[in-house]
Amino acid sequence: MKARQIIFAVLVLSLPLAACAAPTAAPAPTIAPVATPATVVAPTAAAPAATATRARPTATPTPTLAPGEGELIVLTHSSFAASEEVIREFEKANNAKVRILKAGDAGAALNRAILTKNNPLADVFFGVDNTFLSRALKENIFAAYAAKDAAKIPAEFKLDPQNRVTPIDYGDVCLNYDKKWFGDHKLAPPTRLADLTNSDYKGLLVVENPATSSPGLAFLLATVASFGEDKYLDFWKQLRANNVAISEGWEDAYYNKSTWGGKGDRPLVVSYATSPAAEVFFSGGKAKEPPTGNVLGDNACFRQIEFAGVLSGAKNPQLAQKFIDFMISPRFQEDVPAQMFVFPARSDAKLPDFFQFAERPKKAATLSVDQIDANREKWINAWTTAVLR
């Protein structure tokens, strides 16, 4: 799958997938970053961070259009990636030029789409995930469009019955563990969230702040789904007593605090179920198997689903609809794993060989988009009080 983080916008967000440069260490899936640097691939189904910035969008150069040629503008987050040849195929087939307008992390990008909805900057928006989908739909930024081949996408990913958004990819936020560390210490890794409160795992776990990190928010939601709204804080208080470490973002947790990153002392890190596969991919052929494994017990992982949609008031709506169709075509879907380190939404898309190490939980934690939207701020504030104060 891909590798993927958040930002609470003052207006629309209250805190779903990455730089295109190839890092030497495993990136996070691109379910998009919070306010994280663009040196890592972070998954793209991301959530926004606590103080969403209004960074000026960056774009590919404005193309020179040939006579009769159309231009399609795609507004997205900084984690979006697609092969140049794949984009060129769409351009050639539709006599068009595609311009990618990156507006920072996922939260900032969504905020930009909402603030400019009366005069949209683009034709397509890609990058809203299930943790902020309800907010986007309430703001009416999308025009309904039932994509061709939508039947190839599993019903579990289709969260809007009005077809205002189309699922493009998904990934699971899970606990990664250091295989060598646990082997050397003759300690079995945890298999479920409740195990983390055991004294055997005291001082071994690092998680990300849900107010500033997409995987941090996803992991918090996993605990709500697993323990219930009445007991999830009890779990977190026990984690605090068990010396859990808190990072502001995925990169710090994964590279600076993990034992396999070479700098830290924490063999358990909240990351993505595709991170072990990314470790193999970025080893340049040196690693035959990943140094890390996943904790995949029931409700131990939270599934992030990332969507794209035609923006209401788009200047080129017909071309935008064709691009949505293209994004769920086999050509684009099969490009997704090695570009953003997440799974394609389409069930029949072929996966690259290194994705044999990208695991999927049998039962991922889920919450409805409406439940998340109604409680997100409350849950984060309660977590902050219980864990940080």
Q: Give pLDDT tens digits for 342-359.
A: 999 999 999 999 999 999
At a CB cut-off of 8 Å and minimum separation 6, what does 374 contact? none
Report which secondary-structure segment, H or E, holds 269.
Answer: strand 268-272
Q: What is the pLDDT of residue 12?
A: 35
The mean predicted confidence, pLDDT, of the chain is: 86
| pLDDT of 51 over the 80 cut | no
Q: What is the pLDDT of residue 109?
A: 87
This prediction's pTM: 0.80
Buried b (16+ CB within 10 A) or exposed e, 59-77: beeeeeeeeeebbbbbbbb
Considering the four listed CATH numbers 3.40.50.920, 3.40.190.10, 3.90.600.10, 3.30.365.10, the one that applies to the domain covering 172-302+364-388 is 3.40.190.10
Token pair of 347 as six digits: 């069930």
At a CB cut-off of 8 Å and minimum separation 6, what does 107 contact? 6, 7, 8, 9, 13, 15, 34, 46, 47, 48, 49, 52, 132
| pLDDT of 297 over the 60 cut | yes
**Looking at residue 60, what DSSP letter applies?**
S
What is the C-alpha separation between 237 and 154, in angstroms, rounded? 37
User: Start-end ranges of CATH 3.40.190.10 in the chain?
Assistant: 58-171+303-357, 172-302+364-388
SS3 214: helix
Query: Position of tokens 């629309």?
Result: 12
Report which secondary-structure segment, H or E, holds 50.
Answer: none
The mean per-residue pLDDT over the stretch 157-171 comes to: 97
Task: Identify the CATH number of the domain defined by range 58-171+303-357.
Answer: 3.40.190.10
Q: What is the pLDDT of residue 68?
A: 54
Beta strands 205-208 and 268-272 are: parallel
Q: Which of 23-27, 228-232, 254-258, 262-266 has the lowest mean pLDDT?
A: 23-27
pLDDT, one tens digit per residue, over 305-337 is 999 999 999 999 999 999 999 999 999 999 999
| pLDDT of 123 over the 70 cut | yes
Cβ-contact 122, 314 below 8 angstroms: yes
**Looking at residue 190, what DSSP letter applies?**
P
What is the C-alpha separation between 72 and 318, in angstroms, rounded? 10
